[in-house]
Structure 1
Amino acid sequence: MPGKMSPPPPHYGFLRNCTCMHPRKKMGMMHMTFFWGHNAEVLFDRWPGTDPKMYAVSLAFVFAMAELVELLSCCKLVRRAGSDCNFAVGIFRTVLYTVCCGLNYMVMLAVMSFNDGIFLATVSGHSLGFLAFGSRVSKKSSGAGFVKE
């Protein structure tokens, strides 16, 4: 029929500009591949932004979080004294474990920004943290190079 128009084809990109569940007016495109550059969002909305100095702060922050994860994972801050482990020590160890889990997830979310600098800061923080706290490089070893535990 000449007066009748066919319906438009279905458009599935309607969620791209949806503002109903996001506080910003327009949702930006998230990187799904690694990229170089200081224009990234790491952990928080609009942080570090476009300022290279704040990007350097975010790199240092992620590096420090990765090192802290290694410190909490590798060091025994509360040694168990035989079988008489009291309730307070158990609560303290549980709190440390919870903090370590939270930091692990924060580091993982930072890496999910797909920024190469953040990724390298994370890997470097884990590596140097393990070298400092977990590798036992500075501790004495038995003759063959193996450490007795």
Structure 2
Amino acid sequence: MMALKTTSHHNLGAVPPPAVETNPATTNNAGKTVVHKTLYWGHDAQVLFTGWPSTNSAMYALAVIFVFVLAVFVEWLTYLNFMKESADNVLTVVLQTAIHAVRTGLNYMVILSVMSFNGGIFLAAVGGHAVGFVLFRARAKRKAKSDSPKPNGPLTF
């Protein structure tokens, strides 16, 4: 009689997990990976890419500026309206869809940056969104006011 060969479900030829890279920004003195669960303050962060900005203060400043500018750019894309709403041709729809996709992707990059749990990066993201909102929302409101017909009565605010 033929014996049945059984395979354990615990070892199905799985590939072992990848080796953990040791990065000074994410490891403690014992060499174990540290995952921050609360906001922390310091320039030893890892934002968007492995090893960036690491422990270099100048690169951390660049990361903060990058996240700030990225958040302002996302707000600009939010209020970007260079096409008439009545245009329904295919090219307009494709262009609006492309702008929406780029804005969404950049928004997720800002979110991933904030997930570094670094306080400076968090403040840069919030500040960038706030500055962009003030700059571009105010411009959009001024344009809407100038496009609306003027009333024939007392001044209204």
SS for the counterpart of 1:37 is coil
Which amino acid letter does the alignment assign opposite residue 20 of structure 1? Answer: P
Listed as ranges, the gaps of 5+ residues in structure 2 are: 1-15, 23-30
Instruction: Show the counterpart of 1:24.
Output: 21
Q: Pick from 64, 74, 77: which aligns with 1:72?
A: 77
Normalising by structure 2, we get a TM-score of 0.71
Shift of 1:23: 5.3
Which amino acid letter does the alignment assign opposite residue 64 of structure 1? Answer: V
Q: Pick from 116, 123, 126: which aligns with 1:123?
A: 126
Instruction: Show the counterpart of 1:112.
Output: 115
Shift of 1:79: 2.4
After superposition, the CA RMSD in angstroms is: 2.2
The percent of aligned pairs where both chains have the same amino acid is 40
Normalising by structure 1, we get a TM-score of 0.75
Which amino acid letter does the alignment assign opposite residue 62 of structure 1? Answer: V
Determine which structure has more spread, i.e. the larger CA radius of gyration. Answer: 2
1:96 aligns with 2:108: no
1:139 aligns with 2:136: no
Kept in 2, the 8 Å contact 1:65–1:107? The answer is yes
Equivalent residues, number: 125
Kept in 2, the 8 Å contact 1:107–1:122? The answer is yes
Instruction: Show the counterpart of 2:50.
Output: 45
Shift of 1:22: 4.8
Listed as ranges, the gaps of 5+ residues in structure 1 are: 1-18
Instruction: Give the distance between the partners of 1:75 and 1:37, measured in 2 at CA.
Output: 35
